[in-house]
Amino acid sequence: MIFEGKTILVTGGTGSMGKTFVRRVLTGELGTPKKIIVFSRDEAKQHDMRMSYLHKLVATDEVIYRNFMNALEFRIGDVRDYSSVCSALKNVDIVVNAAAMKQVPTCEYFPTEAVLTNCIGATNIVRAIEENNYPVDTVISISTDKACKPVNVMGMTKSIQERIITSANILNPNTRFICVRYGNVLASRGSVIPLFHEQIKNGGPVTVTIPEMTRFLLSLNQAVDTVFIALREAKRGETYVPIAPAATILNIAKALIGKRRIEIKVTGIRPGEKMHEIMVSEEEANHCVKRGEYYAIRPMLPELCDTEQEPNALTKEFSSADTVLDLEGTIALLRKHRLMIEDVDLSQGGELLR
């Protein structure tokens, strides 16, 4: 029970993954935590999240003014700011670094901002632990398939973040630093499925960049499962990667449109996009092992290499073009995760029906 009695800090905790992670942890499926700290810079999102959990239990004033007495604590701060990171890390056992600038176009236009959040933010966490001797047990950083052989700023900064986290194990032997890397999260904020839902709601057209473009597909719960399994099993410096299915953008659009008479418009590839995403590169395949339904990329630095020999799981890169679902398979996957139009209240801007 990895969370039993633990204090957990979730940076970027009001994002799609952060909210799902917090909800899952609060169920107690992996033990009852002592405290969960949601750390982010958006007070409006924090307030909405706080109220969604607590407003049915106590009065509004009590929710707000007893914040630090609650097991679910909300803390305003920014991973870019070293002092607020230091303050948030006191007495924490587990850090989940989900704070990120993750929108590709935004990072392309504002690369310095992406560096500050994705790279300096991770550095501040490592530095705070090292300089203050905080007894943090584990830091897990949330990365992306775009960090693998990156072609855009978002991927480049996430790739550097992975190296910051991995190398932190050398000078901080009392803390385990690990990563997870996964592809597009279905229905997460800013992803393609909410966009398609909105376009269908408005009668189209549904805009597809390149019909043959493929993307790995993972639900929010599967993303959290990846974090859970890495927290349980990953060794120092390892990056866990789910063995996820992929689909073409065209089939995702067709699956959501169904029999509706809605036009599909091809708009062309956008700056910073790949035709196919990669989750494990050809170079990483040389030190990639299989652990159940996941690949574990072992660290390259000799100080972190485990003497235990495990056979390599891959002989080539792991690409979204390797095993692509057909249309029927895409429909089945979306239906499984309740992302088809019939599972969505289009009158409420594409909110999932729960």
Would you say residue 152 has pLDDT above 80?
yes
Is 243 within 8 Å of 295 (Cβ atoms)?
A: yes
Q: Is the domain 7-352 a CATH 3.90.1150.10 member? A: no
- In the prediction, which pLDDT does 348 show? 44
Q: Return the active site residues.
A: 146
- Average pLDDT of every residue of the chain: 90
Rank 24-38, 40-54, 328-342 by mean pLDDT and report only the highest: 24-38
Would you say residue 290 has pLDDT above 90?
yes
pTM for the structure as a whole: 0.90
The structural domains of the chain, with segments of one domain joined by +, span 7-352
Q: Which pair of structure tokens corresponds to residue 197?
A: 């839902």
Helix, strand, or coil (residue 200): helix
Would you say residue 59 has pLDDT above 60?
no
Peptide bond just before 311 cis, omega within 30 deg? no
- In the prediction, which pLDDT does 58 show? 47
- In the prediction, which pLDDT does 351 show? 45
In this structure, the dihedral spanned by the alpha carbons of residues 221, 225, 226 and 230, taken in order and rounded to 10 degrees, is: 150
Q: Which pair of structure tokens corresponds to residue 346?
A: 């289009």
Token pair 């003014």: residue: 65
Give percent of the chain with pLDDT exceeding 70.
91
